[in-house]
C-alpha cells in the first residue's frame, strides 16, 4: 500500500524539530482548522510520511521529516478548561478536534527555505505555495516530498 505524504507546520518557539528529535514522538495537537482536522482524522494513516515546516521563523521552511504512528485520537487539549485550546462544544463521546502521533525521522542539515521552494519549478503546484494558504496540515504528493528531500541534500 502506498504511503501518504504530508506537510505539518509548527512555530519553532512553540515546538521545533529539535524538540521532536529530543522527544522521539509527539502528539500533533492544537490544530484548530476544520480542513486540517479532517486531514488528521481521516487522511493521515500510520506509516505516512510528514515534512516538518517551521513557520513564523527565520528562516521559514522545511526542516526535517517524521512518520505518522498510530490512529487518530481526540485532541486532549480541547477538554482542558482554562487551556487556550479548550473547546466547550467537545465531549468525550463527540470530540470536535483530532490529533495524531508523529515520530521523529530526520533533521535536515539546513532548512529548505520557502524562497527555494517557490523557485523550484517541480513544486509549482504544491498546496503550501498556493496564494492565501494558511493550513497547518497539508497533503503533498510523493513527487513533491521526494523533491524536497533532494533539495535538503543539496
Q: What is the per-residue pLDDT for 154?
A: 76
Q: Kind of pairing, strands 49-54 and 5-10?
A: parallel
- What domains can be seen in the chain, in order of their start residue? 5-153 (3.10.590.10)
Q: What is the per-residue pLDDT for 1?
A: 61
Q: What is the per-residue pLDDT for 73?
A: 97
DSSP secondary structure letters along 93-128? SS-S-EEEEEEEEEEEEEEEEHHHHHH-GGGTT-GG
Q: What is the per-residue pLDDT for 133?
A: 86
Mean pLDDT per block of 10 residues along the chain (154 residues) reads: 90 96 97 94 97 96 97 97 95 97 98 97 95 91 98 91
Q: Which three cell numbers stand for residue 116?
A: 527555494
pTM, to two decimals: 0.94
Amino acid at each position: 500500500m502506498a504511503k501518504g505524504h504530508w506537510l505539518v507546520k509548527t512555530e519553532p518557539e512553540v515546538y521545533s524539530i529539535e524538540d521532536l528529535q529530543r522527544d522521539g514522538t509527539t502528539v500533533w495537537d492544537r490544530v484548530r482548522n476544520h480542513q486540517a482536522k479532517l486531514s488528521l482524522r481521516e487522511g493521515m494513516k500510520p506509516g505516512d510520511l510528514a515534512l516538518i515546516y517551521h513557520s513564523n521563523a527565520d528562516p521559514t521552511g522545511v526542516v526535517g521529516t517524521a512518520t505518522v504512528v498510530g490512529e487518530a485520537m481526540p485532541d486532549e487539549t480541547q477538554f482542558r478548561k482554562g487551556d487556550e485550546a479548550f473547546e466547550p462544544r467537545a465531549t468525550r463521546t463527540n470530540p470536535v478536534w483530532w490529533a495524531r502521533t508523529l515520530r521523529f525521522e530526520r533533521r535536515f542539515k539546513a532548512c529548505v527555505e520557502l524562497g527555494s521552494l517557490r523557485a523550484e519549478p517541480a513544486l509549482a503546484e504544491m498546496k503550501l505555495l498556493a496564494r492565501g494558504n494558511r493550513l497547518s496540515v497539508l497533503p503533498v504528493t510523493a513527487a513533491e516530498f521526494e523533491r524536497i528531500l533532494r533539495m535538503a541534500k543539496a
